Structure 1
Amino acid sequence: MNVNIQTVHFDAASTLIEHVNKKIEKLNNFHDRITTIDVYLKLDNVAHQIKDKIAEIKVNIPRYAFFSKECSKSFEESFDNALDSIIEQIKRKKNKQMQAA
């Protein structure tokens, strides 16, 4: 499993990177054939005082790609919400595959 974490418009603190890596390890519990995971952490409205934190996650599995984008006032919350969405997508896909088999 190859994990890429990219930050846009800022430098991430080591605690944020550790939080992301710790949570990503849990994805192996839901699918064992994950090839790559791309995480993008972005600041929105850079020109204004209010800065929303955006987390985007893209998970690649052979023949499938899952994507989620969440926005909130903290990167941890945005990332956790996006990860929950990815987990739901993976669960739904596995359920459909099992019903088809």
Structure 2
Amino acid sequence: MKVYTQSINFNASSDLLKFIEKKMEALVKFHDKIVDAEVFLKVENTSDKENKIIEIKMNVPGSELIVKKQTKSFEEGISLGAESLKRQLKKSKEKQRDLLTL
């Protein structure tokens, strides 16, 4: 699976990019036909502590799964996003399996 990462208004560290790659690769266990994942990282200029926005768009045949999180750190956002995608991938695979059994 290919993972595309875009950081908006800042440069992402290589550690952060490796962390994202690892989290996204782990999702392959839940759906074997993931095409790719696009991860967008953005820092919002607010006085709010939760100013890090992550958006993950994952392409699987027949659908596009999207998750958006706003958190204190990118790592936290990526972890929460990965958990959310895990649930969506399981649901997508079950739907696919149900369609095949009809």
| TM-score normalised over the length of structure 2 | 0.88
Q: Where do residues 1-101 of structure 1 align in structure 2 (5 Å cutoff)?
A: 1-44=1-44, 46=45, 48-50=46-48, 52-100=51-99, 101=101
**Cα pair 2:23 2:78 within 8 Å, conserved:** no
SS in 2 for 1:10: coil
CA-atom RMSD in angstroms: 1.4
- The structural deviation recorded for 1:86 is 0.9
Q: Which amino acid aligns with 2:83?
A: D
Structure 1 portions without partners, runs of 5+ = none
Deviation, structure 1 residue 92: 1.1
Query: 4+ residue runs of structure 1 moved beyond 6 angstroms?
Result: none
Q: Alpha-carbon deviations, 1:33-66, whole Å to 9, x = none?
A: 111110001111x2x4446111110010111110
- TM (norm. structure 1) is 0.89
Alpha-carbon separation, structure 2, partners of 1:31 and 1:65 = 13
Tell me how many residue pairs correspond in the alignment: 99
Unaligned runs of 5+ in 2: none
